A and B are shown apart, each in its own frame.
Chain A
Amino acid sequence: MGHQGKQGSGRRLARNDRLVRLALLVVAFSAVSVLLVITVFIVGQGTPIMFKYGLKSFLTGTSWYPSEKLFGLWPMIVGSLFVTAGALVIGVPFGLACAIVLTEFSSRRVRRVIKPVIELLAGIPSVVYGFMGVVILVPFIRETFGGPGLSVLAASIILGIMILPTIISISVDSLQAIPPSYREGSVALGATKWQTVKMVLLPAARSGIVASIILGMGRAIGETMAVIMIAGNAASVPRSILDPVRTLTSNIALEMGYAAGEHRQALFATGVILFVIIMVLNTVANVTASRMKGTKR
């Protein structure tokens, strides 16, 4: 009897296990489903108006006057590209330097201090970065270089700082993933540490570093609140780095509060363009990063 009971409960457990597996599979698709639903909603809300007024006038039109049904996004596209490029100019050298120092030029004790500090940079809310831009950087730029201060330059510097944690953490990972034999071989040939970094380690970690830069780009393009506070938000193509600028993200956030009808749809269209840019960047970063894994092992 007892033996039979045990078998019965064993079968029940096996059946429960199958149920659990099914339930987990459903749960595991949550992230994919969320991604799909977001895509459907943003694209569904944003594309009709793009086709109504023509994709070309949307992308290349230079006037954004929603009240007069002029929905040219060109200034915002250029704006996003400018501040992102500026952010990379600042973020990449600093980020790579930190990553190299953390993996190659520091003792364990020093690393134990620097690493959490850099992780902390990632935790600071973007409104706080924006605020620091407003109270420190913008007045400084206004007094030193002239212009309104709220500018491409201010946004680039703050975004450059904000993308540091992304660049550093992924670059550190890819530098650490290089087998020790690379370093040993290079040093055995008489190379200095810097020569090893320059000629062996950086080329070996290339795809990881590229992926980190692309993901940093994605963060810079997607950042909203900090940029709104410091970029000046004028919907025109900037002529110099001291001119104010409006990005795709700011365009959405600034006007969403009161937009209605076609104006609101045009903001969703802005979202579609942003979404497409981000998805392309993500996919490229993903492919580059997985190529790195492929060559390593």
Chain B
Amino acid sequence: MRLDPRTGQAIARIVLWTLTIITVAILVFIIVFILRRGLPVLSLEFLTKNPVDMGKAGGIFPTVVGTVVLTAGAILIATPLGVGTAIYLTEYTWGGPLTRIIRFGAECLAGIPSIIFGLFGFILFVTKLKFGWSILSGSLTLAFMILPTIIRTSEEAIKSVPPVYRTVSFSLGSTKWQTVTRVVLPSALPGIVTGIILSVGRSIGETAVVIFTAGSALRLPTSIFSSSRTMSVHFYILAREGISMRNAYGTAAILIIAILGINVLTYYLMNRFIKKYS
């Protein structure tokens, strides 16, 4: 017996929607679960006090500082490289083997698991270059990890700037570089910023890279050569070693809030950017 196409359609619709709703429900569940247990723990003191007894009590201040400093370092290193690559790929070449190699390199880099970045950062920065477990080693390795994201988003942002902008700029006698810095980049800025914010999210959530390159010292870092612990690493250690579930939930809640904020921000920026050019 053949199924009536309309019945088939109805069944397919129900199955597909069920799977989709389950997916959305999983996400909502994770967020609600963490926030319900974590939000009551949060207070200004939790964020600004030093941990007591390896994190059993007290706050998470040093890990907040560690997260901010490591992430900022990674962004500062990766942004010029990523945006520069994107400018070269979009404005200075038109296909050819060279571009294909660069693109292939970026795409492969995007697929490399964080544990490999961690191993690499450990052997090169921590041991060979003798930076030790430090903010410097961590930021450099994280920068390499987020580089492909920044390249891809910047490239898309620059590509979506209408060609007419460039033509007008050239017709006014500007050089290529003037056109890039004064016309193309300002127009592409919201798109580029979106990529940077996404990378901030990846850096905040990363654990494997940070443990192997920045270590997990729970002190306040004093220089770029200090070892430092990020919130993700702190959360991992609290949960895995069963130090304090209460503080683990609190730390996870902050991570979730940060990720939510980042997503809302990128969504808002993206929408504005798309509206501008369509």
Show the binding face of A for B, using Cβ within 8 Å.
13-14, 16-17, 20-21, 23-25, 27-32, 34-35, 37-38, 41-42, 45, 93-94, 97-98, 100-102, 105, 114, 116-121, 123-132, 134, 136, 161, 164, 191-195, 197-198, 215, 218-219, 221-225, 229, 249, 252-253, 256, 267-268, 271, 274-275, 278-279, 281-283, 285-286
**In this assembly, does B186 line the interface, its C-beta being within 8 Å of a C-beta of chain A?**
no
Main SS class of interface, B:
helix
How far apart are A118's CB and chain B's nearest CB, in angstroms?
Answer: 7
Interface pair B239/A41, CB less than 8 Å apart = no
Interface size class of B (residues with CB under 8 A): 35 or more
A residues less than 8 Å from B101 (CB atoms): 32
Looking across the interface, which residue of chain B has its beta carbon closest to that of A113?
B24
B residues less than 8 Å from A45 (CB atoms): 119, 123
Interface pair A282/B232, CB less than 8 Å apart = no
Q: Contacts A42-B120, A222-B115, A222-B116; is A105 near B27 (CB within 8 Å)?
A: no
Q: Contacts A225-B236, A256-B119; is A98 near B19 (CB within 8 Å)?
A: yes
A residues less than 8 Å from B112 (CB atoms): 35, 38, 222, 275, 278
A residues less than 8 Å from B107 (CB atoms): 282, 286
Show the binding face of B for A, using Cβ within 8 Å.
5-6, 8-9, 12-13, 15-17, 19-20, 22-24, 26-28, 30-31, 33-34, 80-81, 84-85, 87-89, 92, 101-102, 104-109, 111-120, 122-124, 144, 147-148, 151, 175-178, 201, 204-208, 211-212, 232, 235-236, 239-240, 248, 252, 255-256, 259-260, 262-263, 267
Interface pair B30/A128, CB less than 8 Å apart = yes
A35 to B104, CA, bound (A): 10
Interface pair B115/A124, CB less than 8 Å apart = no
A282 to B105, CA, bound (A): 11
Interface pair B108/A35, CB less than 8 Å apart = yes
Q: Contacts A31-B147, A192-B6; is A281 near B175 (CB within 8 Å)?
A: no
A42 to B120, CA, bound (A): 6
Interface pair A29/B80, CB less than 8 Å apart = no
A224 to B205, CA, bound (A): 13
Count A-B contacts at CB 8 Å.
234
Interface pair A125/B232, CB less than 8 Å apart = yes
Main SS class of interface, A:
helix
Interface pair A224/B204, CB less than 8 Å apart = no
Residue in B16, B26, B89 whose CB lies within 8 Å of A161: B26
How far apart are A52's CB and chain B's nearest CB, in angstroms?
Answer: 18
B residues less than 8 Å from A223 (CB atoms): 113
Interface pair A93/B19, CB less than 8 Å apart = yes
Looking across the interface, which residue of chain B has its beta carbon closest to that of A223?
B113
Q: Contacts A124-B259, A132-B33, A274-B115; is A24 near B8 (CB within 8 Å)?
A: no
Residue in B9, B85, B212 whose CB lies within 8 Å of A256: B212
